[in-house]
Structure 1
């Protein structure tokens, strides 16, 4: 297994206080995801989520771009159906760790977030994008459907009708359009996406971690009706009433101070 703290690794994981910084580190190829990077990214996300000291995750790309998509050079090789199914299912671990893992994930986009780069970004909880950045569901241009959960995550943000249009057309979406559509939550100056993402992540480190984990799990599972949402409240809230963090929040309210949550 690669050392994720090694700056030469195609995926790096470093800590800044209670924030884990995960970086796609193949700038010569605009951080296009190779099979090795897919495996290492899943490893890094599992490590960050399992780290009791980690309260939030920032995902970024090295160099001028976040991620240009999948490694197109690998698409020239023969890909039997069974092997392709296994590789796709392996990559799905990343989507589940981003969208349903217990820690909040903030994506920092510089340059392009195309194809799988867009899939990674929209699987995160918060998206920060810098001036000059763009997104594109480019899959149709190589005769493929969107993968790594993009058909679901895109529709969650822009609705089914708009999602279909973006997937059909494979048109590039600039920052202003992405903000207007709700694909991006916060803008940043060029070169400052990580700094803004760290600032947003820092706010989450001061929040109670157990409710965040449960809210993420509930939204990842999905609500088919109001009754599904009400059932989630019944399932989750009674246990949180008994948590030390809930008592700390109540005490802090009456003592007129900021709570110090421990995740217990």
Structure 2
């Protein structure tokens, strides 16, 4: 994300382009992992306030939100792991992007705030669902309703952030993490993301997911190759087949 004048705020054009790019990468099997970051020392300051009009119509807002939903659907439902590399501010919709990612690396100077309530709004980009997945329902309510600003260390403590890196090193560390995900079994990752996106609320949900996906994975070339690698005492290589 690169919009230096607004600290990478999500303009309509950026929402469109980011949605297009994520969807394209999710469909490109030469891509095994995705790193999402912001340029110019910031992650994303939220929605582009400078583009917000006082006379916005309800249907216009619904169209805008629908475009933004493409991004989160790709991040959460897509088959590829998405790693966030956070420097600076991740506020409002920026924090929503973070919460939807599979792994989050943040620099020590990064800050997080679900800032919607500060301007009389409620969360967007799926934060009602993604934030409790990371921090639990009670913490999610507090972060949404009171909108405190979290430093990186606290964000890591409560689970919003997975790893804290030195200032200026979040992207480099995220790329290392992305290589680890890229070396893992693509079909297993895709299935795991799909199961959690669909929802696992009960034990029967988990059993159903196993019945739906395990038979396919057992027959995959990746699984059969991993068995051979185990017997030959070498590391497996996964190709997503």
**TM bucket by the smaller chain?**
over 0.9
Unpaired segments ≥5 residues, structure 2: none
SS of 1:79's equivalent? Answer: coil
User: Given the alignment of the two structures, is residue 229 of structure 1 paired with residue 228 of structure 2, yes or no?
Assistant: no
Confirm whether residue 85 of structure 1 aligns to residue 53 of structure 2. no
**1:157 offset after TM fit, Å?**
1.1
Partner residue of 2:173? 196
Alignment-derived partner of residue 68 in structure 1: 45
1:59 maps to which residue? 36
Confirm or deny that 1:209 pairs with 2:186: yes
- How far is 1:77 from its partner? 4.0
CA contact (8 A) 2:117 2:146 kept: yes
Runs of 4+ in 1 over 4 A off after TM superposition: none
> Pairwise mapping of residues 1-264 of structure 1 onto structure 2 (< 5 A)?
24-264=1-241
How many Å apart are 1:76 and its aligned residue? Answer: 2.8
Greater Cα offset, 75-84 or 243-252: 75-84
Q: 3-state SS of the aligned residue for 1:32?
A: coil
CA deviation map 1:89-146 (0-9, x unaligned): 2211110100110000000000010001000111110000001111000000111001
Higher strand share: 1
How many correspondences in the alignment?
241
In structure 2, distance between residues paired with 1:63 and 1:57: 19
User: TM-score with structure 1 length normalisation?
Assistant: 0.90
CA–CA separation in structure 1 for the residues paired with 2:211 and 2:135? 29
RMSD (Å), alpha carbons: 0.8
Q: Contact 2:153–2:164 (CA<8 Å) still a contact in 1?
A: no
